Amino acid sequence: MKKHEKGLSAWQLTMMAMGCVIGGSFFLGSAVAIQAAGPAILLSFILGGILIYFILYALSEMTVANPDSGSFYTFTAKVFGPGAGFVVGWVYWTGMVLAMSSEATAVSILVREWIPNISISVLGSAIIIAVTLVNLLGADKLSKLESSLAIVKVFAVIAFIIIAAMLILGLIGGVGAIGLGEVAREPLMPGGLRSIPGSMLIVIFSYAGFEIIGLAASEAENPNKTIPRAIAYTVIGLVGLYILSTLVLLPLIPTAELSEEVSPMVAALSRWGMGWVSNAINFVLVTAILSTMMASMFGLGRMMRSVAEEGHAPKWLKDKKDVPYRGIIFSGIAMLIGLGAGLFFPRVYLFLISAGGFATMLTYAAILATHIRFRKCNGCPPEGKCQMPGFPYTSWIALIGTIVIIISMPFISGQSSGLIAGIVMTALFALIYLVMHLTGREGESGKMERLHHRRLNAGFSQETAEEITPNTKIVNKPKKQINPKKPYFDDEDDDGDDDFYD
């Protein structure tokens, strides 16, 4: 892949991440989580924000150490072996394809409010094709369009917060002060304590998409400074917007009246005689989801290129150009297939975001587990940029939290099928890799990573690393001191070995 003369700035990465994150899962899917948890959904969003904070900085430490376009997939493969990397990469890619297929379905449903007779399959397919073609234009052009769309939906959320706050305070003529409203009339946790972990999958999925910062690291300007800065902007912006918008939403409408069929914002404002805003909100929803799809396709194309370069995908998906045309087109075709398959299922939107949510949580668990072992082996990244506060306790708490969220999926109606689909999907890719391994088709990179992985395990119990020379003679070699000017995973001495394992 060619190097860029000028990379993406922290602002461009932040807006791309915001564009990827704030989509249908927040504007539509959050209704399921709010209905399940009641007013306690605020606690879910706060806990989700804390969890995302830890995951982001775990990813940031590894990304700054090695700005590789493969991001978490590459890190997992190098630390836990090519099999783990293969499964994580393909599960993430498949989950995101399912999630984006659901977003295309959601856009189609919203547009049908204006054009009732149009077919969902036709409109959804047209949307996926358009998003694919836009991504073929390249990162620079995409980031400019993405920034514009992201700004639209961020301002829409801010506008809702202001209007809802005015209703609560009685500053809109013809409507008295609502005050605490419905919050004072319903239990804090309608479903009991289990409603909190049960709602967390949708809550975390509402935050999902920030990992695009890691996927775009290789195209960032000065990653050592740009990546941590973009992550900080993203965390502050997302947590603030989500908590504030939920805080002013709760007094306006009973949580039991919400469903994934209608945006909570539209339902809340319509209930108080402000139906005139529904068309405006509907337009914003459409642009928000399109923005999410474009940003997600950006990450999916680069993930597929990385998987192919590791020998874990067909060779014809390799692409050395800046824009991974083949990976983008392949991902677009997969979304069309996902859209067609999804039309045969009832409550297709909830099923697809649940299956996609499982894939997302599995990816986050892999990021945290990889980071724990990464720090155990290497300490802080180059230049001493330790960003994870309270390590290793916070990393372990976050890892356990992601596992609890996955286990809690059956607590929410409609998520059990997504859990089953996710488990089947994971087992399928594990089986595929096993067959590739047994038949010798895992690729040269996979074989080398497996050799490095065995050496890494041995290195944890020895003061000096053992390195096997080309003639198989074993020699003792002093443990290499990490050069703070070099990424951990780079082959700085051109000996064919990744220095992470030396």
Report all structural domains of the chain as residue ranges with CATH numbers, in order of start: 10-443 (1.20.1740.10), 462-501 (no CATH)
What residues does 466 pair with on adjacent strands? 476
Asked whether the beta carbons of 64 and 222 are under 8 A apart, the reply is no
As a whole number of angstroms, the distance between CA 242 and CA 249 comes to 11
Query: Per-residue pLDDT tens for 128-153?
Result: 998 888 888 776 666 666 667 777 77
Q: Pick the most confident of 25-34, 65-74, 142-151, 215-224.
A: 25-34
pLDDT over 80 at 272, yes or no: yes
What residues does 476 pair with on adjacent strands? 466
As a whole number of angstroms, the distance between CA 59 and CA 324 comes to 23
More confident residue, 182 or 471: 182
Average pLDDT estimate for 147-173: 83
- With cut-offs at 50, 70 and 90, classify the pLDDT of residue 347: low
Average pLDDT estimate for 467-477: 37
Quote the pTM value. Answer: 0.75
More confident residue, 272 or 139: 272
Mean pLDDT rounded to a whole number for the chain = 75
For residue 129 the two structure tokens come to 């094709």
pLDDT given at position 144 = 66
pLDDT over 70 at 259, yes or no: yes
Measured in whole angstroms, how far is the alpha carbon of residue 120 from the centre of its chain? 26
pLDDT given at position 208 = 77
Query: Per-residue pLDDT tens for 58-75?
Result: 887 787 777 654 567 778
Helical segments of 439-474, H only: 444-459
pLDDT over 80 at 374, yes or no: yes
pLDDT over 70 at 450, yes or no: no
Pairing outcome for strands 465-468 and 474-477? antiparallel
What residues does 439 pair with on adjacent strands? none
- With cut-offs at 50, 70 and 90, classify the pLDDT of residue 454: very low
As a whole number of angstroms, the distance between CA 485 and CA 1 comes to 22
pLDDT given at position 400 = 94
pLDDT given at position 453 = 45
pLDDT over 50 at 391, yes or no: yes
- The total of other beta-carbon atoms located within 10 Å of residue 228's CB is 20
Measured in whole angstroms, how far is the alpha carbon of residue 229 from the centre of its chain? 18
Asked whether the beta carbons of 310 and 77 are under 8 A apart, the reply is yes
pLDDT over 80 at 95, yes or no: yes
Q: Pick the most confident of 102-106, 286-290, 390-394, 459-463.
A: 390-394
As a whole number of angstroms, the distance between CA 467 and CA 473 comes to 9
Query: Per-residue pLDDT tens for 392-448?
Result: 888 999 999 999 888 888 877 777 888 888 899 899 999 999 988 888 766 544 554
Q: What number of residues does the chain have?
A: 502
Query: Per-residue pLDDT tens for 296-330?
Result: 787 788 778 877 877 778 888 887 777 788 888 99
- Identify the weakest region by mean pLDDT among 208-212, 414-418, 453-457: 453-457
Rounded to whole angstroms, what are the CA distances from 249 to 30, 157, 208, 243, 252?
12, 11, 21, 10, 6
For 269-308, the DSSP string reads: HHHTT-GGGHHHHHHHHHHHHHHHHHHHHHHHHHHHHHHH
Residues 6+ away with beta carbon under 8 Å from 253 = 182, 264, 267, 268, 271
- The total of other beta-carbon atoms located within 10 Å of residue 187's CB is 11
pLDDT given at position 452 = 47
Rounded to whole angstroms, what are the CA distances from 388 to 13, 72, 87, 240, 366?
21, 16, 26, 21, 16
Average pLDDT estimate for 112-133: 84
Handedness of CA 125, 127, 128, 133 (dihedral sign): positive
As a whole number of angstroms, the distance between CA 184 and CA 170 comes to 17
